[in-house]
């Protein structure tokens, strides 16, 4: 509860002064004695016990009326928010090399998990998932349902399409997802661990198309420096791991990012990849506008009616009840 005229509440200090004066005057009254009772006090009747009730009611009414004059109100707050979201496509490499064990538990699992966390934090944005190896395909169309995005990311598997690394096709498919987007900002986060060796579309040509469409591309190269345990098949047809050189075309990924106004990142472990997603999250913030509304409900009428009822009660007790009690 708030008060529109709070200064009026200072009048309440008068009430304790009136009480002090009333007590002082009451104590000065001599006790009534009747000679036939041998100097003893008169018996205390109901009138005696109710003698102070009118004053209590009068002071209570005064206090309540002062509160009513201060105009108590109850504030009701509400707010409306509007979000100008960003459309983001996560283009994920799912080639066989993404099963390398230089990440925990491997590159593709770590990438999916951290991409899912990134998507979950993007309140108000729409997310799409594109996967590529030797070919590219859309795993999840643009949606604001982050649970669906997480589910689709978790279902990505290496080996579902021909192996290879078609970076140009992957980027072109991501651009196609944003072609009819009406969002103010459009972003592609392209993650790969290799060198472009497949596909019909040149990565640089795809980057130039993205630039012309106002799409910013952030590129992430995934893999340790030097060598990493890569999946292989032994002479008996069993899957095994062999140490192999990590080859990432960083010059190409950097050129794609620079062409579109994005940025290139290199992730050498889980923590580095997590930090990269955090940096992209900070650089691409959605615009949120919040409008607050406050309405006030006047409460003085209830206090005013209570004060009047107390005055009526004081009148009844003093003029009727006490006059009838002997």
Q: Band of the pLDDT at 7, cuts 50, 70, 90? A: confident
Q: State yes or no: pLDDT of 289 exceeds 60.
A: no
Tell me what pLDDT residue 301 has. Answer: 85
Span 125-156, pLDDT tens digits: 999 999 999 999 999 999 999 999 999 999 99
Q: Band of the pLDDT at 240, cuts 50, 70, 90? A: confident
Tell me what pLDDT residue 32 has. Answer: 46
Tell me what pLDDT residue 55 has. Answer: 80
CATH number of 86-285: 3.40.50.410
Residue range(s) occupied by CATH 3.40.50.410 in the chain: 86-285
Q: State yes or no: pLDDT of 197 exceeds 90.
A: yes
With a pLDDT cut of 90, the percent of the chain lying above it is: 52
- Specify the higher pLDDT residue, 154 or 301: 154
Q: State yes or no: pLDDT of 308 exceeds 70.
A: yes
HSE-CB at 89 with a 13 A cutoff on CA atoms is: 29
Computed over every residue of the chain, the mean pLDDT equals 86
Q: Band of the pLDDT at 31, cuts 50, 70, 90? A: very low
């Amino acid at each position: 509860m708030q008060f529109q005229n709070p200064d009026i509440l200072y009048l309440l200090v008068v009430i304790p002064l009136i009480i002090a004066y009333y007590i002082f005057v009451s104590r000065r009254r001599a006790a009534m004695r009747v000679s036939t009772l041998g100097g003893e006090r008169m018996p205390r009747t109901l009138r005696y016990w109710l003698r102070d009730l009118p004053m209590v009611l009068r002071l209570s009414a005064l206090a309540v009326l002062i509160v009513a004059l201060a105009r108590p109100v109850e504030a009701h707050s509400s707010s409306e928010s509007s979000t100008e979201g960003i459309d983001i496509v996560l283009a994920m490499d799912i080639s066989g090399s993404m099963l390398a064990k230089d990440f925990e538990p491997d590159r593709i699992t770590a990438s999916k998990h951290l991409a899912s966390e990134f998507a979950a934090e993007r309140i108000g944005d729409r997310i799409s998932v594109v996967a590529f190896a030797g070919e590219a395909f859309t795993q999840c169309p643009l949606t604001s349902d982050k649970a669906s995005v997480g589910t689709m990311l978790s279902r990505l598997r290496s080996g579902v399409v021909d192996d290879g690394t078609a970076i140009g096709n992957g980027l072109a498919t991501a651009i196609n997802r944003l072609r009819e987007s009406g969002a103010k900002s459009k972003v592609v986060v392209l993650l790969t661990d290799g060198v472009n060796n497949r596909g019909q579309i040149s990565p640089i040509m795809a980057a130039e198309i993205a630039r012309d469409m106002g799409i910013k591309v952030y590129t992430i190269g995934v893999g340790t420096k030097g060598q990493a345990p890569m999946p292989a098949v032994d002479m008996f047809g069993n899957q095994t791991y062999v140490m192999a050189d990590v080859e990432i075309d960083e010059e190409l990924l950097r050129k794609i990012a620079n062409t579109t106004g994005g940025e290139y990142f290199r992730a050498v472990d889980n923590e580095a990849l997590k930090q990269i997603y955090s940096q992209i999250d900070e650089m691409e913030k959605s615009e949120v506008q919040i409008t607050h509304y406050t309405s006030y409900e006047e409460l003085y009428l209830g206090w005013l009616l209570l004060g009047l009822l107390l005055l009526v009660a004081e009148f009844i007790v003093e003029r009727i009840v006490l006059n009838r009690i002997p």
